[in-house]
Structure 1
Amino acid sequence: MSEPESRELSDLIEMQIRSQGPMSIASYMGLCLTHPKQGYYRRADPLGAAGDFVTAPEISQMFGELVGFFLVNLWQQMQEPNPFNLLELGPGRGTLMSDIMRVACRAEGFREAVRINLLETNPALIEQQRLQLSEYQPKWVDEFDELEDGPLLVVANEFFDALPIRQFVRDADGWRERLVGLIDDRLGFGLGPTAIPPTAMPEAVQNAEPGEVFEVGITAGEVMGRLAVQVARRGGAILAIDYGYPETGVGETLQAVRQHRYADPLEAPGETDLSAHVDFNALKAVTSRTGLEVHPLLDQGTFLWRMGIGERAAALVKANPDHADAITVARDRLIGEKGMGTLFKAFCAASPGLKPHGFVE
């Protein structure tokens, strides 16, 4: 192993800053999350009670089952193409896809038609996905153009929030980019020297007050744009569920989580989960340009309720009366205001003519 690779990630970041100057938050997040050797998403399993966070599929099988119903309904509307591609972005342990397939394969012809594709960078999670989904013979892809020909249905749960963002802070002269540099030999935040005119920013933030922060998810927009081009060309739909906000605006949302607690984003690079709320209005803009129809954004709770989580929870309670309390708690965590119900949003873009269940009454 070369000497630079043997260093801690914090030392590598410090070396880069000393040699090249302060870096954008996007560059910092990229190194922390996806550094080939020491990035957070290249290391051990971050999920579950022993990890840093818990996602909806890990809370209850109901989440994946209802997404499965959603996908089957779309496939049937598309005249049941055989074959077709099902792509999941950031599939974690494979729990969501496993729950999807358990339900979806009840539809005649679905299993024979589907080709499962997974986009994942974490070697430990890839091995778990391989074990969890071996009977379906999934394929791992690095780029969307690696997908075989055919229609495309896409699922992304808590994927876009982990993509790097840039931050800009308003001052009297305009907007200055927030950068990561060194303050007394420690990582710290500062502002770039160049002021960006207010008119260069989206209209929604041009009248922001001094001190307010505007976050730009450039990477999320690029990924969604490339994905939408593929879906528009092939036919199909995208379902993205994540925490975020419906309209572009000011507000600082960059956060770090370690062992289920909030942490300092600049401490322990590569050992802490970094994320930011998704600007769904920006994703809508890039997706609409491809010709896909973007349906009104829903709260996760509304989406799951329309998909039938009430009835599904009741059926599970009836079949497992000894677990009634746990099932009810999980349901409420997924749809309740105190849980994930309103913070998380469901975004859907589909080929014109499709009527995604839950989004179209």
Structure 2
Amino acid sequence: MAGGLLDVLLGRIALGGPLTVADYMAEALGHPRFGYYATRDPFGAAGDFVTAPEVSQMFGELIGLWGAVVWQAMGRPDPVRWVELGPGRGTLMADAIRASRTVPGFVEAARLHLVETSPVLRRIQAATLAKAAPPHPPLWHADLSGVPDGPMILVANEFLDALPIRQFERTAAGWCERLVAAGPGGDRLIFVLSPPSRRPPLLPAAVIDAPVGAIAEVSPAVIGVIDAIGRRLAGTGGAALIVDYGHPRSAPGDTLQAVRGHAYHDPLADPGQADLTAHVDFEAVARAAGEAGARPFGPIGQGLFLERLGLGARADALLAGASPAQADAIRAARHRLTAAGEMGTLFKAVSLQHPGLPPPPGFA
């Protein structure tokens, strides 16, 4: 399978020259036959990585209640688009539905819209959500443009980090774009540099004067998604919650990484067989949202955000009826979600809202 995508990429390079890192990521993750997400369920202990909804039900439950409270602040619109970008196995949304049933009217008003391109994951999501029994059946879309207009509450957990990035390296001659080319012998991939340019497109002002050898990253794909979200929120109302890992301010750094079997992997080895991600530039996210007409809040650490939403109280409620083994698992999950050495500070939460709404839960 990996040889198949490698052959595809080497063929593209032979015809058109080296690929940008963004083009490489797009093919490695999304190729319809050989792409990483098109061919597998990558989540959980048997996959390549574990996301917060798989760590504990508490994560999705709190986000469900967050959405219900935002819906009340919006004036309880019926219907409201309840959108998730990159829903994984459907675990977050299933937990969110269960918890938000405690808020009268919300689940009945919510119309589920899942933005997912993987046919494998769509089938898993359908099975997971069937057990949650939402009043209205979910609908799937290839991108946000397929979601009908109207008031919207959107969630994106570990979605932006998988969107393609471009990379640039500062050399003595100027900024050069990092490209993916065929290596010696033509049977593997290597990084090369383009000729220098005076100022690469979209490079943040904060990194223009970085020293020689520095790497800068930009993601037109992330900016495009945030622009689309921001324009919808500003136009028809609502809020978005984005949880991902990254840095609060634009800064130089090489954050492209591959993960396979819960271990770091060479990003250019075995294309299509490893997950590829990059850290999210949350300053760029906030700036794009503001330019689109939405009001950004955050970023704040995931740990602080979840504790503000009541993670401690929810954990205590679960502990009250837990066996010793279950209690250990609940405490371990809370630690993993919130501790600084785990997911608590590297992962961050950002909310984007219609400017007329009050500050969202967790960000006040």
Percent same amino acid among aligned pairs? 47
1:309-348 matches, within 5 Å, as 309-322=311-324, 323-348=326-351
> Does the CA contact (< 8 Å) of 1:57 and 1:95 recur in 2?
yes
In the TM superposition, residue 254 of structure 1 has moved relative to its aligned partner by 0.2
Change (3 A) 1:77 1:199: closer
Change (3 A) 1:336 1:120: same
In the TM superposition, residue 355 of structure 1 has moved relative to its aligned partner by 2.0
> Does the CA contact (< 8 Å) of 1:299 and 1:341 recur in 2?
yes
2:91 to 91, 95, 119: 95
Q: Which residue of 2 aligns with 1:131?
A: 127
Q: Supply the AA of the counterpart residue of 2:236.
A: R
1:315-338: per-residue Cα shift (whole Å, max 9, x none)?
111121331111000000000011
Change (3 A) 1:187 1:198: closer
Q: Supply the AA of the counterpart residue of 1:317.
A: L
1:73-95: per-residue Cα shift (whole Å, max 9, x none)?
10111111111100000001100
Corresponding position: 1:27 with 2:23: yes
Q: Aligned partners of 1:294, 1:182: CA distance in 2, in Å?
A: 42
Q: Which residue of 2 aligns with 1:236?
A: 238
Q: Aligned partners of 1:118, 1:325: CA distance in 2, in Å?
A: 33
2:189 to 187, 190, 205: 187
Q: Supply the AA of the counterpart residue of 2:141.
A: V
SS at match of 1:42: coil
Corresponding position: 1:109 with 2:105: yes
1:22-73: per-residue Cα shift (whole Å, max 9, x none)?
1100000000000011100101101111100000000000101111111111
> Does the CA contact (< 8 Å) of 2:244 and 2:280 recur in 1?
yes
SS at match of 1:303: helix
Q: Which residue of 1 aligns with 2:269?
A: 267
1:1-361 matches, within 5 Å, as 8-134=4-130, 135-136=133-134, 137-184=137-184, 185=186, 186-197=188-199, 201-322=203-324, 323-352=326-355, 353-360=357-364
SS at match of 1:170: strand
In the TM superposition, residue 198 of structure 1 has moved relative to its aligned partner by 7.7
Q: Aligned partners of 1:6, 1:266: CA distance in 2, in Å?
A: 11
SS at match of 1:13: helix
Q: CA RMSD in A?
A: 1.6
> Does the CA contact (< 8 Å) of 2:174 and 2:196 recur in 1?
no
In the TM superposition, residue 7 of structure 1 has moved relative to its aligned partner by 6.8
SS at match of 1:297: strand
SS at match of 2:154: strand
Change (3 A) 1:96 1:6: closer
Please, which runs of 5 or more residues in structure 2 have no aligned partner? none
Change (3 A) 1:198 1:111: closer
SS at match of 1:164: coil
Aligned residues: 356
> Does the CA contact (< 8 Å) of 1:199 and 1:206 recur in 2?
no
> Does the CA contact (< 8 Å) of 1:245 and 1:278 recur in 2?
yes
> Does the CA contact (< 8 Å) of 1:255 and 1:265 recur in 2?
yes
SS at match of 1:92: coil
Q: Aligned partners of 1:311, 1:14: CA distance in 2, in Å?
A: 54
SS at match of 1:175: strand
In the TM superposition, residue 199 of structure 1 has moved relative to its aligned partner by 10
1:88-126: per-residue Cα shift (whole Å, max 9, x none)?
000011000000000111211112101000001111111
SS at match of 2:37: helix
In the TM superposition, residue 290 of structure 1 has moved relative to its aligned partner by 2.0
In the TM superposition, residue 354 of structure 1 has moved relative to its aligned partner by 2.6
> Does the CA contact (< 8 Å) of 1:144 and 1:230 recur in 2?
no
1:234-279: per-residue Cα shift (whole Å, max 9, x none)?
1000100000001001001000000100000011100110000000
Normalised TM-score (structure 2) = 0.95
Please, which runs of 5 or more residues in structure 1 have no aligned partner? none
Q: Supply the AA of the counterpart residue of 2:142.
A: D
Segment drifting more, 191-200 vs 325-334: 191-200
In the TM superposition, residue 150 of structure 1 has moved relative to its aligned partner by 2.2
Q: Aligned partners of 1:143, 1:124: CA distance in 2, in Å?
A: 16
Q: Aligned partners of 1:95, 1:125: CA distance in 2, in Å?
A: 11
Q: Supply the AA of the counterpart residue of 2:183.
A: I
In the TM superposition, residue 163 of structure 1 has moved relative to its aligned partner by 0.3
